[in-house]
Structure 1
């Protein structure tokens, strides 16, 4: 994983502060001053500003139903940051980090953990992991209902500023609602794809991350993964696509 990410999961500091430490030449790897960009396996001796950085022995895994308005960054100075909004289950007493993000104006399922390897495998483009969203769009003034043409254009790929989106799965279940399963995570991808074919997203909820389901988890509440959920998740992420 990236060195800055490793420092975060080792509990040294935030990603932003990690980048500052590296830029200030205050991080060494096996005695050599680290520079951007840098990747580590975790087996090296990494010292950040005089502190030995090691990954925790104990890992926790938590699902969270993020409300609209909560920001997925870990900035403790931001009242709307997830670190100030999320209440962890009583059994979890260690610092966790969100795996990926959901836009501030979207809501739904998030996974948080301090397992750096699992986070890397879920976020790396070498691993194509499906995530499913329930989407409501504002009716188009010329063509109010989404239809087979909308479905075909969305699933076959749309050019977003020079990047063609990967084929995806989409199911229409109301005249202005659909579910979509993506294996890539471009910035605000679903909103931009919908806008490209003439529709504005007015509600976006993530309901699945691979085998993990939002289910009936209440809004702004969290729970630990079950043993079965964690075992299945680790099995699915063990091999690159």
Structure 2
């Protein structure tokens, strides 16, 4: 029986950091597994030794999971690196080792969750789950309906177009926005693209967890009811292989020559037939095209077809091997004199002469 676990999960279970941060440590070469540099995808077995930055870490005893909600002030950096000035771990001063779920810009304030449960962090942050986060934003000048509409539909930043989102005006320079993705400094970049600067940004909700009346700089435990709904939402979204997500800005165009019929493509499925022009039998040959020319007597005559026929294949040639072209002359054909100026010899020269004569 294989009782190994992924190395990043082992590091996370010790309470050292989240799985994502463990992967970053491994990629940076700061983790040793059995005295050898660890690689992404390595697995830990009981008896293995794991070191991070030269310090041995051991499996922690199962401890009670804690889930905190903090109203982060601006100026606090969302990092577990204790040497960073004004880091969130030192600011909150919790007695057990915890780490933040996601990030909130240093210049921003509002709701952020912290925990010692590495599994829940992975599930909440997984991009394909599209969990909602709600913000109240203040900008440097009045907003209008065009601004609200553009923000809602998506804005091109960071070599992509943001997903459609909910945006509502709250005042001359304030609006509420609900995102389902978490690009780096997304709201600030979106506003900047539209010619606005963010002067204040507060996160007020993460999924079902609301900031409510929690004072700035204070934290609280999540209630049992909040935690129950949160776990249920995470469980449901992680089971979906293709979660419901907002429509993207681009769509794949349908293939040419196929028309939907009864929810299926023509030519596919029982009881369907290939989609041919005017439902005519498909012979595998392209139809011949023809044109008509009006003679001097006012009657139309078929002159030729788009494809060479037996009749058109036997063209008369001039003594010099040059093909002649039909001209208006009572329905008769005549040979035009060759132009020395445009003559190049062969069929090409004759054809150019014919064209030049028609212009004159």
Which TM-score band applies after superposition, normalised by the shorter structure? 0.7 to 0.9
> Do the aligned partners of 1:127 and 1:239 also contact (CA within 8 Å) in 2?
no
> Do the aligned partners of 2:25 and 2:31 also contact (CA within 8 Å) in 1?
no
- Aligned counterpart for 2:15 among listed residues 11, 17, 22: 11
Question: How do 1:22-41 residues align onto structure 2 when only pairs under 5 Å count?
Answer: 23=29, 26-27=32-33, 34-35=38-39, 37-38=40-41
> Do the aligned partners of 1:172 and 1:179 also contact (CA within 8 Å) in 2?
yes
Please tell me whether residue 127 in structure 1 is matched to residue 129 in structure 2: yes
Q: Over residues 116-135 of structure 1, what are the superposed CA-to-partner deviations in whole Å (9 max), with x where a residue is unaligned?
A: 11100111112110000000
Q: For structure 2, which runs of at least 5 residues remain unmatched after alignment? A: 238-242, 244-360
Q: How far off its partner does 1:57 sit?
A: 3.8
For residues 149 and 18 of structure 1, the distance between their equivalents in structure 2, rounded to whole angstroms, comes to 41
For residues 71 and 123 of structure 2, the distance between their equivalents in structure 1, rounded to whole angstroms, comes to 22
Q: How far off its partner does 1:95 sit?
A: 1.2
For residues 89 and 198 of structure 2, the distance between their equivalents in structure 1, rounded to whole angstroms, comes to 27
Cα 1:196–1:5 shift into 2, 3 Å = farther
For residues 25 and 95 of structure 1, the distance between their equivalents in structure 2, rounded to whole angstroms, comes to 19
Q: Which has the higher contact order (CA 8 A, sep 6+)?
A: 1
Cα 1:6–1:138 shift into 2, 3 Å = farther
**Bigger strand share:** 1
Give the equivalent residue in structure 2 for 1:117. 119
Q: For structure 1, which runs of at least 5 residues remain unmatched after alignment? A: 140-144
Taking structure 1 as the reference length, the TM-score comes to 0.83
For residues 30 and 222 of structure 2, the distance between their equivalents in structure 1, rounded to whole angstroms, comes to 38
- Aligned counterpart for 2:185 among listed residues 183, 188, 203: 188
Root-mean-square deviation (Å): 2.9
- Aligned counterpart for 1:157 among listed residues 148, 154, 164: 154
Q: How far off its partner does 1:38 sit?
A: 2.8
Aligned length: 227
Q: How far off its partner does 1:87 sit?
A: 3.8
